């Protein structure tokens, strides 16, 4: 991050410049700050106080802190603390906003990894019977469906229990 320091009613010394650059260097650990940004720092001296204004325009928001204190170095420290709080709040907002999208992308990634899921295969012998016998066998086994060969049509059929309590029948040709 580039730093530009301006002084009003004060000459910016090398020590002041170094202090501000050192403190703003700690903000590089946050994802919002990158090398192309320029931090503008304005130092104004009033009768007994020093006012430090730091403005950092980012892609997401403009970070700004303004502190008035008797000591320049204390004012810089307080302004940096305010900026860090703003960045943390911004990061939390982004995480909450994109939490569902992140969760969906995570699930899609998990599902992509689980494509080689083993499917249990079972082979059955189909008995010839009428519909009433098939329903009785299904109920006795405790299954929700039963496959059988219809004794009239000689075709494979599936009887199943419906959610409304009745039964359904699927016939093949």
Q: Are residues 93 and 159 in the same domain?
A: no
Q: Are residues 134 and 93 in the same domain?
A: no
Could you tell me the residue range of the domain that residue 150 belongs to?
128-171
Q: Are residues 66 and 20 in the same domain?
A: yes
Supply the angle between the helices 72-97 and 99-113 in degrees, to the nearest 10: 50
Q: Are residues 141 and 89 in the same domain?
A: no
Question: Could you tell me if residue 103 is inside a domain?
Answer: no
Q: Are residues 92 and 10 in the same domain?
A: yes
Q: Are residues 80 and 149 in the same domain?
A: no
Q: pTM for this structure?
A: 0.54
Do β-strands 128-129 and 145-150 pair in parallel, antiparallel, or remain unpaired? parallel
Q: Are residues 91 and 139 in the same domain?
A: no
Which has the closest alpha carbon to 46: 77, 76, 9?
A: 9
Q: With beta carbons less than 8 A apart as the criterion, state whether 51 and 70 touch.
A: no
Q: Categorise residue 9: left if φ over 0, alpha if ψ from -120 to 50, beta otherwise.
A: left
The pLDDT value recorded for residue 148 is 94
The pLDDT value recorded for residue 130 is 92
The pLDDT value recorded for residue 26 is 76
pLDDT band at 1 (very low <50, low <70, confident <90, very high): confident
The pLDDT value recorded for residue 116 is 59
Number of domain units in the chain? 2
**Spatial separation of the C-alpha atoms in residues 74 and 80, rounded to whole Å:** 10
CATH number, domain of 138, equals: 3.30.505.50
Q: With beta carbons less than 8 A apart as the criterion, state whether 33 and 27 touch.
A: yes
Question: Could you tell me if residue 107 is inside a domain?
Answer: no
Q: Are residues 25 and 88 in the same domain?
A: yes
Question: Could you tell me if residue 115 is inside a domain?
Answer: no
Q: Are residues 66 and 143 in the same domain?
A: no
- Burial state string for 93-106 with b = 16 or more CB within 10 A and e = fewer than 16: eeeeeeeeeeeeee
pLDDT in tens, 5-64: 988 988 888 988 898 888 888 777 765 566 777 888 999 998 889 999 998 887 767 788
The pLDDT value recorded for residue 108 is 61
pLDDT in tens, 73-130: 999 999 989 988 887 877 777 667 666 665 666 556 555 555 556 778 888 889 899 9
The pLDDT value recorded for residue 162 is 92
Q: Are residues 10 and 73 in the same domain?
A: yes
Q: Are residues 85 and 28 in the same domain?
A: yes
Q: Are residues 17 and 86 in the same domain?
A: yes
The last residue of a domain, from among 78, 97, 116: 97
What percent of the residues of the chain are helix, what percent strand, and what percent coil, each to the nearest 5?
40, 30, 30
Question: Could you tell me if residue 16 is inside a domain?
Answer: yes
Question: Could you tell me if residue 116 is inside a domain?
Answer: no
Does residue 167 carry a pLDDT above 90? yes
CATH number, domain of 40, equals: 3.30.160.100
């Amino acid at each position: 991050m580039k730093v530009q320091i301006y002084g009003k009613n004060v000459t910016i010394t090398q020590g002041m410049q170094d202090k501000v650059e050192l403190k703003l260097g700690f903000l590089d650990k946050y994802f919002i700050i990158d090398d192309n940004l320029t931090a503008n720092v304005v130092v104004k001296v009033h009768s007994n106080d020093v006012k430090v204004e730091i403005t950092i325009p980012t892609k997401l928001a403009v970070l700004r802190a303004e502190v008035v204190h008797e000591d320049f170095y204390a004012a810089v420290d307080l302004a940096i603390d305010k900026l860090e709080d703003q960045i943390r709040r911004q990061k939390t907002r982004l995480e909450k906003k994109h939490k569902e999208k992140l969760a969906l992308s995570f699930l899609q990634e998990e599902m992509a990894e689980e494509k080689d899921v083993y499917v249990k295969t079972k082979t059955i012998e189909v008995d010839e019977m009428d519909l009433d016998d098939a329903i009785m066998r299904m109920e006795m086994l405790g299954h929700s469906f039963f496959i059988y060969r219809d004794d009239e049509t000689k075709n494979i059929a599936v009887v199943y229990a419906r959610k409304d309590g009745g039964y359904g029948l699927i016939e093949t040709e």
